[in-house]
């Protein structure tokens, strides 16, 4: 065991000198990750996209998956076929072999559990624990409001992570599944550092902005971008001297995907955010309060 629990995937040395094995399992459950109204293809797609995002979070290459599905006794065969269609289409897109699994009964509704194997060149694994004071903090895509659509359609950042790891000296990398503030805190804790974010640099999604406008009790857009879950974007740090070359190269290579430098790693522990009114601290739940 090279890396056990606590990072995006387990990292294993199975005796092959060239590659380390990445191992991840993830489940989606009816009523929590999808509903009876969710199109079945999107359920199957999401079930595989989630662990794929964790392979991306280690800059790995996915390989093979086992799929376990739990079904109520009165399941709808067409719905189950739709789930597999969505899952298989994404598997083909990312060259993942579905090599087995299990079907079981679950009276409470449908669940799908995917165990995914991947690989990464030995010694090239990108973990959460490498962030260093002075690092620039980057995030791909836009954040917040995922529950209004993106959580069923997100693209796992496999290609982007491999491109990044191959060209730049990343110090830490993870995917954002529980919200930027909470997940960045994992990097800070694992690395023994703190961070300061720039509120104006945080890429807020269209959905988070639209929803804040249309619904009275929605979170303000910045809070949504900091705390909403299921963004499945990459969060990483690298020496700030590489920030400008990275932004230039990224724009040329991935013109359709936003890349934002959102702040800097500091020696002082804790997570802070700077806006027009000054610096605030972010508490354990990610919410902004005045300091
Ligand atoms: Mg993850």
What's the pLDDT at 284?
A: 58
pTM: 0.94
Q: Token match 């982007």: residue?
A: 160
* pLDDT one-digit tens code per residue, 203-239: 999 999 988 777 666 788 999 999 998 999 999 999 9
Predicted confidence (pLDDT) at residue 286 exceeds the cutoff of 60: no
CA distances from 178 to 64, 102, 185 (A): 25, 28, 11
For residue 238, which of 156, 131, 160, 145 has the smallest C-alpha distance?
A: 131
Q: How far is ligand 1, taken at its centre, from the CA of residue 174, in Å?
A: 6
Cα of 57 from ligand 1 centre, angstroms: 6
Cα 110 to averaged position of ligand 1 atoms, centre (Å): 23
- Residues 103/58, Cβ–Cβ less than 8 Å: no
Assign 291 a pLDDT band (cuts: 50, 70, 90): very low
Query: Who wins on pLDDT, 116 or 276?
Result: 116
How remote is the CA of residue 178 from the centroid of ligand 1, in Å? 8
Cα–Cα distance measured from residue 120 to residue 126, given in angstroms and rounded to the nearest whole number? 9
Task: Locate 93 and state its tokens.
Answer: 């897109």
Q: Is the dihedral of CA 197, 198, 201, 207 positive or negative?
A: positive
Residue 168 Cα to ligand 1 midpoint, Å, equals 21
CA of 243 to the centre of ligand 1 (A): 23
Please give all residues whose CB falls under 5 A of ion ligand 1, grouped by chain where several chains appear: 8, 54, 57, 175, 177
| Cα(232) to centroid(ligand 1), Å | 8
213 or 156, higher pLDDT? 156
Question: What secondary structure, in 3-state letters, does 192-221 show?
Answer: CCEEEEEHHHCCECHHHHHHHHHCCCCCCH
Tokens of 149: 């659509």
pLDDT tens column, 251-265: 999 999 999 999 999
Is the per-residue pLDDT at 290 higher than 50?
no
- Indicate if the pLDDT at residue 73 is higher than 70: yes
Tell me which of 111 and 214 has the higher pLDDT.
111
| 269 alpha carbon – ligand 1 mean position (Å) | 22
For the chain, count helices (H), then strands (E). Answer: 7, 13
């Amino acid at each position: 065991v090279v890396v056990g629990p606590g990072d995006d995937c387990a990292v294993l040395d199975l005796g092959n000198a060239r590659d380390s094995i990445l191992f991840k399992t993830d489940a989606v459950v009816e009523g929590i990750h999808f509903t009876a109204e969710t199109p079945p293809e999107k359920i199957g797609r999401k079930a595989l996209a989630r662990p794929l995002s964790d392979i991306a979070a280690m800059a790995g290459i996915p390989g093979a998956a086992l799929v376990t599905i739990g079904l109520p006794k009165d399941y709808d065969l067409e719905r189950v076929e739709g789930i597999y269609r969505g899952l298989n289409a994404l598997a083909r897109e990312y060259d993942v072999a579905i090599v087995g699994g299990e079907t079981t009964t679950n009276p409470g509704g449908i669940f799908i559990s995917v165990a995914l194997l991947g690989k990464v060149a030995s010694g090239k694994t990108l973990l959460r624990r490498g962030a260093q004071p002075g690092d620039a903090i980057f995030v791909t895509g836009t954040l917040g409001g995922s529950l209004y659509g993106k959580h069923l359609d997100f693209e796992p950042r496999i290609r982007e992570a491999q491109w990044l790891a191959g060209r730049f000296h990343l110090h830490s990398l993870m995917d954002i599944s529980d919200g930027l503030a909470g997940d960045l805190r994992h990097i800070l804790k694992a690395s023994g550092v703190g961070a300061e974010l720039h509120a104006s640099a945080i890429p807020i999604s269209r959905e988070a902005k639209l929803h804040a406008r249309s619904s009275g009790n929605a979170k303000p857009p910045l809070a949504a971008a900091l705390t909403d879950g299921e963004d499945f974007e990459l969060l990483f740090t690298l020496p700030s001297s590489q920030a400008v070359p990275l932004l230039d190269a990224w724009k040329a290579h991935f013109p359709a995907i936003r890349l934002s430098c959102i702040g800097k790693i500091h020696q002082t522990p804790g997570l802070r955010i700077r806006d027009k009114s000054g610096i605030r601290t972010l508490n354990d739940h990610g919410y902004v309060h005045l300091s």
